[in-house]
């Protein structure tokens, strides 16, 4: 079976390197050099938010090399689905939960023309997956801190893992507790677990 050739795009070099290493680690996949997007079978891109600028860049990319595209993002409006469809986007994944296996699965489906749900439905699903119980969106750092707390790490350990100060971790915890409208970190972790966020 031929290898799936993937063109990787990201708004920053660190994300681009991370995506490329995820794809290179997958059997049957190959990363196409950035100067040769037309040689790819699928485009994989990551962004914090689907903005007008992102859609503009995606439109130009689709005109230059009309590839089925997988987008990993944490913020998309379901009303942007028609614009994403015109840019050949076939799959939306939550960036904060984009594991290598999840990315690989979406890329393989895109490459084989596999059946996918509508982009509007995917955008709704994405919003629900990364939202708190009241629909408030959780930031990727909040999800990370909640997961680390659920794994049994205390504040100094989380600060070391995230390469930030204890004070920053406490601020992130406070933000998460406010989003869940709870009074303490244990309750915030419980809410995140019940909602399936971690």
- Do 93 and 45 form a contact (C-beta atoms < 8 A)? no
- pLDDT at 166 > cutoff 60: yes
Most confident of 91-100, 122-131, 139-148: 139-148
Q: How confident is the model at residue 121 (pLDDT cuts 50, 70, 90)?
A: low
pLDDT at site 31: 92
Q: How confident is the model at residue 117 (pLDDT cuts 50, 70, 90)?
A: low
- pLDDT at 126 > cutoff 80: no
Give pTM, 2 decimals.
Answer: 0.62
- pLDDT at 110 > cutoff 80: yes
Structure tokens at 139: 């930031």
Q: In b/e form, how buried is each residue of 38-69, taking b as 16+ CB within 10 angstroms? A: eebbbbbbbbbebeeebbebbeebbeebebbb
Q: How confident is the model at residue 4 (pLDDT cuts 50, 70, 90)?
A: very high
CA distance 112 to 91: 13
Of the chain, the percentage scoring pLDDT greater than 90 comes to: 24
- pLDDT at 130 > cutoff 60: no
- pLDDT at 197 > cutoff 80: no
Domain 140-195 has CATH 1.10.10.10: yes
CATH for 4-131? 3.40.50.2300
Q: Kindly list the domain boundaries of the chain, sorted by start residue.
A: 4-131, 140-195
CA distance 41 to 30: 10
């Amino acid at each position: 079976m031929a290898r799936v050739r993937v063109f990787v795009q990201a708004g920053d070099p660190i994300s681009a390197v991370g995506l490329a290493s995820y794809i290179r680690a997958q059997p049957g996949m190959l990363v196409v050099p950035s100067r040769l997007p037309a040689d790819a079978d699928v485009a994989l891109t990551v962004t914090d938010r689907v903005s007008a600028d992102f859609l503009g860049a995606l439109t130009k990319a689709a005109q230059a090399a009309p590839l089925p595209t997988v987008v990993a993002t944490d913020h998309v409006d379901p009303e942007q689905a028609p614009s994403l469809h015109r840019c050949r986007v076939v799959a939306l994944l939550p960036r904060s939960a984009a594991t290598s296996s999840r990315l690989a699965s979406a890329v393989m489906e895109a490459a084989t023309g596999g059946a996918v749900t509508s982009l509007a439905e995917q955008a709704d699903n994405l919003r629900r997956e990364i939202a708190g119980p009241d629909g408030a969106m959780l930031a990727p750092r909040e999800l990370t801190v909640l997961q680390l707390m659920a794994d049994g790490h205390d504040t100094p350990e989380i600060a070391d893992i995230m390469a930030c100060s204890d004070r920053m971790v406490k601020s992130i915890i406070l933000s998460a507790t406010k989003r869940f409208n709870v009074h303490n970190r244990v309750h915030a972790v419980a809410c995140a677990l019940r909602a399936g966020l971690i």
